[in-house]
Chain A
């Protein structure tokens, strides 16, 4: 099974764990097959992540993307890396890239 962000969910995937809203109310039971409609319903209910059967999303590729994105970020800041303020700003953008990777 694999826990994935809701935006990576796709029709045809099957829930390996029940999908609950933030108050713990059951929205879809284990074994429910995701459809475009119920993905939209989950998203609307504020569900951020679901656990599905198998390993349908390639998270390794995501990790590589993050490493590459961080390297590119550093390359863009190469001419100002001695400046303390610019290093700090680069840090904020690196944080954002990490957040995005976690969301993914």
Chain B
């Protein structure tokens, strides 16, 4: 079973199977690039799509649970999160819709858990824009969604390899496909023109040392992915905790007591989030 990397890249680049996303991004792009556009202008356009608005608010409230209190308006979400993060959210809600529709609940929960954990770490180490880091974490495995939906036969082989060889999905992808979900994520970031602060953590969450433009956010998402797997929240495709890059760990400079605080806080937030998500029928 072989998949030509360049052929698959072209398929990914041609992926416009998320119409809400593409239409919405096209509408708000000029506004995002205009120095005169205000929060109200963008909020008005997104608010016109009530389903999308509700989904965005739901995700925002899930990943920032317990920090801001409830965010009840898109305008409020835009002020807190910023345009880039909202762009990432529009992307994530559309892609995660596809994920849930295809029954990948465990991966969605893993992504939500990673977003919550990254937010906790970012706040604890006083990283600027912790919400943005959360959104990057929410999207970190977006490449897995594309592989699962676009390459179903290969995905079955990947799942088998994970079980039979006791390897991670990441390793299985490299062995069987010749490329991995982080690379697919990178292609998507390019197609959707996402900023480096979102693209780097998605592209390098397994190799944070390679990040050039968003080293700390990438290190945070890398560690958050390890922590959420360690605690066993959701399912990222395998049940193996990956190794943390010593350089990324050193960069975040977390004392033992801070790590304990982070784990305590993430545990509490994940428990709350689980209740919140379950109460909302697990749909985004």
List residues of chain A with CB under 8 Å of any chain B CB.
Answer: 72-73, 75-80, 83, 85-86, 89-90, 92-93, 95-96, 99-100
What residue of chain A has the Cβ atom nearest to residue B243's Cβ? Answer: A80
Q: Which of B49-57, B74-82, B184-192, B225-233 contacts A (4 or more CB under 8 A)?
A: B225-233
A43 to chain B, nearest CB (A): 15
- Chain B residues with CB below 8 A from A89, complex form: 226-227, 230, 244, 259
Please report the C-alpha to C-alpha distance between residue A77 and residue B260 in the assembled complex, in whole angstroms. Answer: 18
Q: Which of B37-45, B110-118, B132-140, B234-242 contacts A (4 or more CB under 8 A)?
A: B234-242
- Chain B residues with CB below 8 A from A93, complex form: 230-231, 263
Interface status of B264 (Cβ within 8 A of chain A): yes
Please report the C-alpha to C-alpha distance between residue A95 and residue B264 in the assembled complex, in whole angstroms. Answer: 10
Further contacts, 15 of them, CB under 8 A, given A86-B244, A90-B241, A96-B231: A76-B229, A76-B232, A77-B230, A77-B241, A79-B166, A79-B168, A80-B240, A85-B244, A86-B241, A86-B243, A89-B226, A90-B230, A93-B230, A96-B267, A100-B267
What residue of chain B has the Cβ atom nearest to residue A95's Cβ? Answer: B260
Interface status of B249 (Cβ within 8 A of chain A): yes
Q: Judging by beta carbons under 8 Å apart, are B230 and A76 in contact?
A: yes
Q: Judging by beta carbons under 8 Å apart, are A73 and B230 in contact?
A: yes
Please report the C-alpha to C-alpha distance between residue A56 and residue B230 in the assembled complex, in whole angstroms. Answer: 32
Q: Judging by beta carbons under 8 Å apart, are A76 and B263 in contact?
A: no
Interface status of B246 (Cβ within 8 A of chain A): yes
